[in-house]
């Protein structure tokens, strides 16, 4: 486990090493004035932690975690992707029974199910969510009606959502039914409600949405509400 060395470690990196959250999330926490180094409130992510420093979050000391945990949860619909919810709604943490303090990597919206990674490794989370290294995520979207071949091609080439064009995607029509069509959509971006908005841009409403894979990690036979530990090979694949 990496320690705060003599030359110091940036406070957001140190917090990630202590399994608080990803580095980007830690920067938000720091900006709110919740972090102190040796009793002094820190509001800038440029501050450094040195060997022997005492870092506190909301008055509680932070310590470096030794055991790293990496979990794949098949998130059910009807729960939020957060550690705690201010409105008392069920969260993804209600499905995980672990003694270590975990947090979700990225998010799936309330009505979306499927593959979600939880960990206590802030550096791992930072790698997975960094724009330059985001992995391909695979979704199965059940949409109303039947998208035309031209619509499918538009999704592949990129459509405009929230004023910006999406990156090229891999899109295939899997199955047509009387009520709608199943589409497989693979994207590497992580924009808010992206798949739903992409389908909306071609005039199709997503009735049901499930993420089936993140990079080399697939749900397989994992049932909704169940979780498993990632293998060493899967962890290396995600970090590569």
Q: What are the angstrom distances between the C-alpha of 5 and each of 43, 81, 196, 231?
A: 22, 34, 45, 30
Which helix or strand (DSSP H or E) is residue 104 part of? strand 103-105
Examine the residue annotation and report whether 109 is marked as an active-site residue of this protein.
Answer: yes
Q: Is 115 exposed, middle or buried (0-12, 13-18, 19+ CB in 10 A)?
A: buried
Residue 140's nearest CA partner among 214, 213, 210 is 210
128: which 2 tokens? 């997975």
Angle between helices 232-239 and 122-129 (to 10 degrees): 50
DSSP string, 206-228: EEEEEEEEETTEE-TTPPTT-EE
Using alpha carbons only, give the angle 140, 152, 148 rounded to the nearest 5 degrees.
110
Q: Out of 109, 121, 151, 162, which one is annotated catalytic?
A: 109
Q: Given the DSSP bridges, would you call strands 206-214 and 113-119 parallel, antiparallel or unpaired?
A: parallel
Q: What backbone phi and psi angles, to 5 degrees, belong to 218?
A: -115, 155
Catalytically annotated residues: 109
């Amino acid at each position: 486990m990496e320690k705060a060395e003599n030359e110091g470690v940036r406070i957001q990196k140190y917090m990630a090493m202590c399994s608080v959250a990803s580095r980007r999330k830690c920067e938000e926490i720091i900006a709110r004035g919740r972090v102190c180094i040796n009793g002094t409130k820190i509001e800038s992510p440029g501050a450094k932690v040195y060997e022997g420093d005492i870092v506190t979050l909301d008055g509680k000391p932070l310590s470096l975690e030794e055991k790293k945990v990496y979990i794949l949860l098949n998130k059910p619909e009807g729960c939020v992707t957060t550690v705690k919810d201010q409105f008392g709604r069920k969260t993804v943490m209600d499905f995980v029974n672990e003694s270590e303090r975990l947090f979700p990597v990225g998010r799936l919206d309330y009505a979306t199910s499927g593959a979600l990674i939880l960990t206590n490794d802030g550096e791992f989370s930072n790698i997975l969510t960094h724009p330059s290294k985001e992995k391909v995520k695979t979704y199965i979207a059940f949409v109303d009606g039947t998208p035309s071949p031209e619509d499918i091609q538009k999704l592949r080439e990129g459509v405009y959502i929230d004023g910006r064009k999406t990156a090229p995607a891999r899109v295939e029509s899997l199955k047509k039914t009387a009520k709608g069509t199943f589409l497989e959509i693979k994207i590497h971006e992580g924009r808010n409600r992206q798949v739903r908005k992409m389908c909306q841009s071609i005039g199709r409403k997503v009735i049901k949405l499930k993420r089936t894979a993140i990079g080399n990690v697939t749900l397989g036979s994992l049932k909704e509400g169940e979780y498993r530990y990632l293998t060493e090979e899967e962890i290396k694949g995600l970090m590569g």
